[in-house]
Amino acid sequence: MNVFTRILAAGLLLLDAPAVAAQTAPTHGVRPRRLAIRNAMVIEGNGTPAEGPKDIILEGNRIIDVVSLDPVAVKMGEVKRIPADVEIDATGKYVMPGLINLHGHVQDERGGIPQPLEYQLKLWLGMGITSVRDVSSETPKTLQLRTRSAAGEVAAPRLYVYARYAYMPVPKNEVEARQRVRDLKAQGVDGLKLFGMDKDVYAPVLDEAKKLGLRTAHHMAVDETNAWDAAKGGLTSIEHWYGVPDAALLSGAQQFPSNFNYADEGMRFRYAGRLWREADPARLQEVLKAMVQGGVAWNPTLDIYEASRDLQRAETQPWFTEYLHPTLEKYFRPDAANHGSYFANWSSTDEAFWKENYQIWFRAVRDFERLGGVIGAGEDAGFIYQVYGFGLVRELELHQEAGFSTLKVLQHVTANNAKILGEEQRLGRIRAGFLADLVVVNGNPLEDLKALYPQRADAAAGPGGGVQWTIKDGIPYDAPRMLSEVRALVKAARTR
């Protein structure tokens, strides 16, 4: 039976079935034949207002129907409901598409010290993340994890593996560059992660990737290529923000001091905080327009640089008490040997520059969407004081701070991210025929994005809601249970 036949059958069931009695609750980690989410307020994911109550019917790993319920008929007991094997009562809860993390790294170590993969995967699922675009990790291992996740053999988000293009030996010319792309395609990757690129190989890499159906994510650096080249070559997405303000510098180069050393991370991030102020505003608008016209999406990862504007906040995040694994905690401490751990001698002056940096960056991201650009959302956790899952929720809060309504923010992390992945026909929305990736939230994230954080009894604004169920590929996961297992894992690691 194809999906459309199942949808038709569901419609007939709605007409013919008697009122549905209470069903069995879901079993954690087990996909039922048919699952009903009852009486939900639904955030569809495409930017339209929430609406409910609705029943969402899942069969296998697909959404087969989304049924609006007339409140009067419900109260009178006159509603005929589609029956299901198990059900979730979502009365008073909000249901939205599973969160898509557009910038993740699968990590089983930090700084050479082992870190259990279970820790990261359970945090992601426990925080409502059902899909992750992995942008550079140990590709062979992550490809195996992708296969196991797709088969339901491991509790993990669905994975999109973007392999690092510039592994050693780095291609030196167009022939080698195109061959590297072909080699990665042969491994079965979903896309390429690019770092700093020279102009002579950049266009060939983008061209070869498009020919082979590979999408591209570029973490730009202070290099020959910038947003102009991305727009011309058809890059899929710019990660972070380097390459955008650089392209708007009238002089063509930032005003670095004579002793500047780009390889010195502390120095690099210090002066990165002074880049946006040097960008010419009129020129910047032209850069943004070129990105839109070139079909380049922008995944700003606002959360990953926040420590640069407020180090004390980063060091004292309340969830560190129960959720920060000691391996990750050690990695975060200032250490020149660990990427992103650059905060030795960080000053209030550095923070002041970065606070200004953020304000200009916020305006640019806002303008980009206003001009028709597609904004995504990713966390880049595992670096710079960001913990998996928590980093993505913080990213959403920063999108709101940048000036986006919460409806748009949630669209960024669902439908927009699906579009950037090329999966907009099956992910990112609550719609019949789409994959059954959903999140049941105890509270209204449109009113308070903090509803996506786990409950915390000592929070001044109240304990909050937290994710109740994360449903990935039709498999329901008890989110509080997963987070409880993470807390136990962290506690055990600290007592060793």
Would you give per-residue pLDDT tens digits along the chain (496 residues)?
A: 444 334 334 443 443 333 444 468 999 999 999 999 999 999 999 999 999 999 999 999 999 999 999 877 777 777 788 999 999 999 999 999 999 999 999 999 999 999 999 999 999 999 999 999 999 999 999 999 999 999 999 999 999 999 999 999 999 999 999 999 999 999 999 999 999 899 999 999 999 999 999 999 999 989 899 999 999 999 999 999 999 999 999 999 999 999 999 999 999 999 999 999 999 999 999 999 999 999 999 999 999 999 999 999 999 999 999 999 999 999 999 999 999 999 999 999 999 999 999 999 999 999 999 999 999 999 999 999 999 999 999 999 999 999 999 999 999 999 999 999 999 999 999 999 999 999 999 999 999 999 999 998 888 877 889 999 999 999 999 999 999 999 999 999 999 8
Could you tell me if 189 and 136 are in contact, meaning their C-beta atoms sit under 8 angstroms apart?
no
Q: Distance between CA atoms of 112 and 331, rounded to whole angstroms?
A: 9
Name residues whose C-beta falls within 8 Å of residue 97's C-beta, 6 or more positions apart in sequence: 43, 44, 45, 414, 415, 427, 428, 429, 430, 437, 438, 439
| CATH number where 131 lies | 3.20.20.140
Query: Could you tell me if 86 and 106 lie in one domain?
Result: no
Query: Could you tell me if 188 and 286 lie in one domain?
Result: yes
Check whether the bond before 445 is cis (ω within 30° of 0). Answer: no
Q: What pLDDT, on a 0 to 100 scale, did the predictor assign at position 70?
A: 83
Query: Could you tell me if 307 and 353 lie in one domain?
Result: yes
> Which residue, 365, 391, 421, sits at the end of a domain?
421
Q: Distance between CA atoms of 461 and 130, rounded to whole angstroms?
A: 28
Query: Could you tell me if 378 and 473 lie in one domain?
Result: no
Query: Could you tell me if 382 and 462 lie in one domain?
Result: no
Q: Which residue do the tokens 């004579």 mark?
A: 258
> Which residue, 421, 449, 470, sits at the end of a domain?
421
Q: What pLDDT, on a 0 to 100 scale, did the predictor assign at position 23?
A: 60
| CATH number where 70 lies | 2.30.40.10
> Which residue, 394, 421, 448, sits at the end of a domain?
421
- Dihedral sign of CA atoms 379, 380, 383, 388 in order: positive
**Inside any domain, residue 336:** yes
Q: Distance between CA atoms of 233 and 405, rounded to whole angstroms?
A: 32
Query: Could you tell me if 111 and 64 lie in one domain?
Result: no
Range of the domain at 301: 99-421
The radius of gyration of the chain from alpha carbons, rounded to an integer in Å, stands at 23
Query: Could you tell me if 83 and 153 lie in one domain?
Result: no
Residues 458-461: contacts with CB under 8 Å, at least 24 apart: 458/318, 459/318
Query: Could you tell me if 328 and 355 lie in one domain?
Result: yes
Could you tell me if 100 and 375 are in contact, meaning their C-beta atoms sit under 8 angstroms apart?
no
Q: Which residue do the tokens 């020959």 mark?
A: 224
- Bin 389: left if φ > 0, else alpha if -120 < ψ < 50, else beta: left
Number of domains, the chain: 2
**Inside any domain, residue 428:** no
Query: Could you tell me if 254 and 401 lie in one domain?
Result: yes
Q: Distance between CA atoms of 438 and 95, rounded to whole angstroms?
A: 7
Could you tell me if 416 and 333 are in contact, meaning their C-beta atoms sit under 8 angstroms apart?
no
Question: pTM of the predicted model, to two decimals?
Answer: 0.94
Euclidean distance between the first and the last CA atom of the chain, given in angstroms as a whole number: 53
> 3-state SS of the chain?
CCHHHHHHHHHHHHHHCCCCCCCECCCCCCCCCEEEEEEEEECCCCCCCCEEEEEEEEECCEEEEEEECCHHHHHCCCCCCCCCCEEEECCCCEEEECEEEEEECCCCEECCEECCHHHHHHHHHHCCEEEEEEECCCHHHHHHHHHHHHCCCCCCCEEEEEEECCCCCCCCCHHHHHHHHHHHHHHCCCEEEECCCCHHHHHHHHHHHHHCCCEEEEECCCCCCCHHHHHHHCCCEEECCCCCCHHHCCCCCCCCCCCCCCCCHHHHHHHHCCCHHHCCHHHHHHHHHHHHHCCCEEECCHHHHHHHCCHHHHHCCCCHHHHCCHHHHHHHCCCCCCCCCCCCCCCHHHHHHHHHHHHHHHHHHHHHHHCCCCECCCCCCCCCCCCCCHHHHHHHHHHHHCCCCHHHHHHHHHHHHHHHHCCCCCCCCCCCCCECCEEEECCCCCCCHHHHCCCCCCCCCCCCCCEEEEEECCEEEEHHHHHHHHHHHHHHHHCC
Query: Could you tell me if 305 and 160 lie in one domain?
Result: yes
Q: Distance between CA atoms of 46 and 448, rounded to whole angstroms?
A: 19
Residue 268: count other Cβ atoms within 10 Å of its Cβ: 16
Structure tokens at 244: 């955008």
Query: Could you tell me if 140 and 227 lie in one domain?
Result: yes
Structure tokens at 202: 């950049």
**Inside any domain, residue 426:** no
Nearest to 127 by CA among 479, 477, 455: 479
Q: What pLDDT, on a 0 to 100 scale, did the predictor assign at position 15?
A: 36
Query: Could you tell me if 318 and 377 lie in one domain?
Result: yes
